[in-house]
Amino acid sequence: MIAASREWICVRPATYESAEEAKLLSKWFSGRDGDLENTTFVLLDPSGNKAISRAGRGPEMAFSNAGAFTAALKKGSAAYEAKKAERVLPTVLDFRLGLNVAASDGLALVAIVEADQNARTRISKAVAKAAWSEELHGLAHYVMLDEASVLEKLEGFEAEKKIYVLQPDTFGRTGKIVSAFAASEKKLATKLGAAFGLAQIKKASHRQHVREGKRAGISWKSKIPVSDGAAARAGRKL
């Protein structure tokens, strides 16, 4: 299944963090009450306008088992000829959401700081080459920043650096910088791999995590109202 999925562009929706995206997600799937659910799954054609599978909260609502899902992935990708292109860096909407998503997965967050568009493109290409490598694929989340104000107060900040690897706290509210690199860092993939290992965090079970968050009075306020009743009651976003 994992191998078959790599022939697809896999998008992790922001759901309640983007009104524009929420409108698009609702086009493909809504709950029984007609509202946007906490998760949405559908296979789309390359145009992004045509569904080629049933939609639901997850693959289990569209396919009977993992074998059927894998077969659909292979059939779908075989129907379209892939174009050769340079893979771009997959980024999260903003730093706040990046920390939260990275914490949810127990992974590193890589922040690239650069306002100049040409310089940003060069750095992004270098990081993307490492991010899509077999060794580092799926081991971190990424975010682009115009300036470093959100990083300056964090432990490990170095003003002259451009690429920062952060370890989020377990609730995704803050983090610490475990490594920082220059824009033209040598052997970047190797150094990022070592930093990713340092940045990973151990995750409690979902039930324990929610319980600890409630005890500490921690909750997440999304940018648009949460319409999924179960998610709203749990005080969580994704």
Is residue 154 within 8 Å of residue 114, measured between CB atoms? Answer: no
| Residue 21 to residue 157: CA distance in whole angstroms | 33
Residue 151's closest CA among 197, 91, 99, 103? 99
Note the pLDDT of residue 33.
74
pLDDT score recorded for residue 238: 38
The pair of three-digit structure tokens given for residue 173, joined into one six-digit string: 């509210």
Angle at 36 between CA 96 and CA 3, to 5 degrees: 70
Question: What six digits make up the tokens of 195?
Answer: 């930093």
Write out the two tokens for 160.
Answer: 């002259």
Expressed in percent and rounded to 5, the helix, strand and coil fractions of the chain are 35, 10, 50
Q: Could you say which residues of the chain have pLDDT below 70? A: 229-238
* 145 phi/psi in degrees, rounded to 5: -125, 140
Burial letters 72-82, b for 16+ CB under 10 A, else e: bbeebbeeeee
Count of CA atoms in the C-beta half-sphere (13 A) of 193: 12
Sign of the dihedral through C-alpha 113, 94, 92, 236: positive
Task: Please provide the distance, in angstroms rounded to a whole number, between the alpha carbons at the two ends of the chain.
Answer: 23
DSSP calls for 195-210 = HHHHH------HHHHH
Residues in the chain: 238
Q: Which helix (H) or strand (E) holds 103?
A: helix 95-105
Residue 154 burial (10 A CB sphere; 0-12, 13-18, 19+)? middle
Q: Model confidence over 128-186: pLDDT tens digits?
A: 999 999 999 999 999 999 999 999 999 999 999 999 999 999 999 999 999 999 999 99
pLDDT of residue 234: 55
DSSP bridge pairs for 168: 175
